[in-house]
Structure 1
Amino acid sequence: MSQAAKKLVVCGGNGFLGSRICKAAVARGFDVTSISRSGTPNWASISSSSTPPPWSNSVSWERADIFSPQTWTPLIKGADYVIHSMGILLEADYKGVLSGKESPISGLRKAFSSSPGYSQNPLERGPSSQSEIHPPNGPRQLTYEMMNRDSAILLAKEAAKEKVGTFCYISASGGAPVLPSRYITTKREAEDTVAREFPEMRPVFIRAPIMYDASRPLTMPLAGMTFVGSLFNGATGGVLNDFLGGAGQKPLKADTVAEAVVEALEDESVKGPVEVPAIEELARKHWRRGML
C-alpha cells in the first residue's frame, strides 16, 4: 500500500523562488498548494515563457490575502509543511510614484526610513476578523515589519494551531549597502519569534543569498556583481561582512535554492538558520539522490 503524498503549502508560491519550490516539490510527488493574492502565476514574469509548464497542472493555485487568515486557514489543514516565501525589498509605494500619486522624494523617504514601520503584532490579535492585519495606507504601502516579519508570524501561528510539523521561512543571508537596515532586522526578528513562540514545529530558516535565473535577465548582472563582492569578501577574510551583507555572499541559481528548500523539508536533521554553504550542500544532496 503506497504512502499518502506529503502535503506542502507555499505562501507566495507564484513568485520567482516560490514557483520553483512548487516545481521541485511536485517532482518529489508532494501534494502542493500555492497561496498568493493573485493565484495563478504570471509565467512571463518568472520564467522564460508565458505558457504554463506541464508541472504546474499538479499545483493547486489558490487566491488569498496573507493578512486575512480566514481566507487561507482552511487551505493549511492537514499540511505536513508550510513555507513562507514572501517579502519586500523596498517599502516605497513604487506604483504610486510611477503614477504620480506620490512624489519620488516621499517614496524614497519611506523606503529608507530608519524608524520602525507600521506593525500589528499577530500574537496579540483576536479570533475571526479581528486577526486581520491592515496596511496603514492601503495595500500598496506595506512595511518591512508587516511583510517580512508579521505575515510570517501570523502564518506560523495558524500553522501551529493546525499541528503542522515543519515551518520554513525564506529569510536572507544579509542586508546590503543599498537597503535599509530594517530589511534584514525584520527578517531576523521573524526567525527569532517563530523559533521561540512555536517550539512544537520544526523551524527551518533558509538564509538565501541573491538569486538569479536566465529567464529573469535583470538578475544576471546583479548576480555577477554579487559574485565579485563575495570573492573580495572571501579574500579579505570577511572583514566587510557587516557592510556588504547579502552582497558579500555567493549568489545562487533560484532552482538551486528551491531544491535545497525541499530537501530541507524532508531532512529532519535540518533545523534553524540554513546559511549559503548549507543551502548548496542540501541542493547537492538532492542532485546526488536523483543520480542514483
Structure 2
Amino acid sequence: IRRQWFCGSAICKAAVSKGIEVISLSRSGRPSYSDSWVDQVTWLTGDVFYANWDEVLAGATAVVSTLGGFGSEEQMQRINGEANVVAVNAAKDFGIPKFILISVHDYNLPSFLLSTGYFTGKRKAESELLSKYPTSGVVFRPGFIYGKRKVDGFEIPLDLIGEPIEKFLSAVENFTKPLNSLPASDLLLAPPVSVDDLAFAVVNAVVDDDFFGIFTIEQIKEAAKSVKV
C-alpha cells in the first residue's frame, strides 16, 4: 500500500527480484514508464479509506505500508496516522499474518515539533500496528531516504547527495557520537538510508517469520545485508 512512488516502487522491485508475488494499491495505479519488473506486479488503483479489501488482500501473507506525507496538520494526521490505522485493521480483520510499516526515525527534536501531525500520526500508526501485531508487526524507522527518484517523468538523483553523506557520517561516527545527546543533533547526524537497503530490509521482514519489532537506521541496513545480493 503506497502513497509515494519512491519507496513503494523500490520495495515492489526488490520483492519481485526475490520471487515474491506483489500487489500494489495506490491512487496512481500502474506507473507510466515501463521497466521489466513492472509487468510482474499487479497494480490496483484505489484509496485506502475506500478500498475493496477482498480484491487487495485475497491470498496475501504480508502487507507493507509506505503511506505518509506532509501537508496541513489535518492532512498529516490523516495520511500518516488514520490511513495506516485503517490498513492495519483491514489486514488484521482479513487474517493477514504480518504487517510492515515504513515510519520515521525517532528524532531528538523539541516537543513542539514532535507534536505536529506528521510525527504524531506516524506514532499513532506504530502503536496500532504493535497492538494488533505484537509478535509479527514490523516498524522501520529510517531517516532521510536516498536513491533515484522519478517525479513526473524526470529522475532526481538523490543518491548523489545521500550516499556521500552516509559514507562520511559512517567514517566519523566515533567523533560524532558525543554530539548525539544535543537537541535536534540527529537532523544532521542521523545517517541517510538507501532506498534499496530499505526495500531489501522489507523483503527480509516478509520472508522471515521471526522478524518483528521496531528497527532503527542501523538495524535497517543490517536487515538488508542478508538478502541484498
Q: Deviations over 1:237-285 (max 9, x none)?
A: 5113x51445431112111110111112212222111111111111111
Work out the CA distance in 2 between the residues paired with 1:245 and 1:165: 34
Structure 1 distance, partners of 2:12, 2:101, is 15
What is the match of residue 254 of structure 1?
A: 195
> Does structure 1 conserve the Cα–Cα contact (< 8 Å) formed by 2:63 and 2:98?
yes
CA distance in 2 between partners of 1:176 and 1:210 (Å):
15
CA distance in 2: counterparts of 1:281 and 1:222, whole angstroms: 18
Equivalence map 1:1-292=2 (5 Å):
11-12=1-2, 15-42=5-32, 51-69=33-51, 71-88=52-69, 90-91=70-71, 110=72, 117-118=73-74, 143-175=75-107, 180-181=113-114, 182=116, 183-196=118-131, 198-199=132-133, 202-214=136-148, 215-218=155-158, 220-221=160-161, 231=172, 234-240=176-182, 242-245=183-186, 247-287=188-228, 290=229
Structure 2 counterpart of 1:202, one-letter code: S
2: CA distance, partners of 1:13 / 1:59 = 16
Q: Which letter maps to 2:37?
A: W
Could you tell me which amino acid in structure 2 is paired with residue 184 of structure 1?
A: F
**Aligned-partner SS, 1:17:** helix
Cα RMSD (Å) of the superposition?
2.8
Other-structure match for 1:47: none
Q: Is the 8 A contact 2:13 2:38 kept in 1?
A: yes
* Amino acid across the alignment from 1:217: P
CA contact (8 A) 1:14 1:34 kept: no
Q: Contact 1:36–1:65 (CA<8 Å) still a contact in 2?
A: yes
Instruction: Count how many residue pairs are aligned between Structure 1 and Structure 2.
Output: 218
* Contact 2:4–2:67, Cα closer than 8 Å, also in 1: no
Tell me: CA distance 1:66–1:219, structure 2 relative to 1, closer, same or farther (3 Å).
Answer: farther
**In the TM superposition, what is the alpha-carbon distance from 1:15 to its structure 2 partner?**
1.1
One-letter identity of the residue aligned with 2:141: R
TM normalised by structure 1 equals: 0.66
* Greater relative contact order (CA < 8 Å, ≥ 6 in sequence): 2
Name the CA distance, whole Å, in 2 between partners of 1:286 and 1:216. Answer: 26
TM-score, normalized by length of structure 2? Answer: 0.83
CA distance in 1, matches of 2:129, 2:194: 27
Is this contact kept in 1: 2:25–2:44, CA < 8 A? Answer: yes
In 1, Cα distance between equivalents of 2:120 and 2:164: 25
> Equivalent residue for 1:122?
none
The answer for unaligned runs of 5 or more in structure 1 is: 1-10, 43-50, 92-109, 111-116, 119-142
- Indicate the residue corresponding to 2:151 in structure 1: none
Q: Structure 2: 5+ residue runs without aligned partners?
A: 149-154
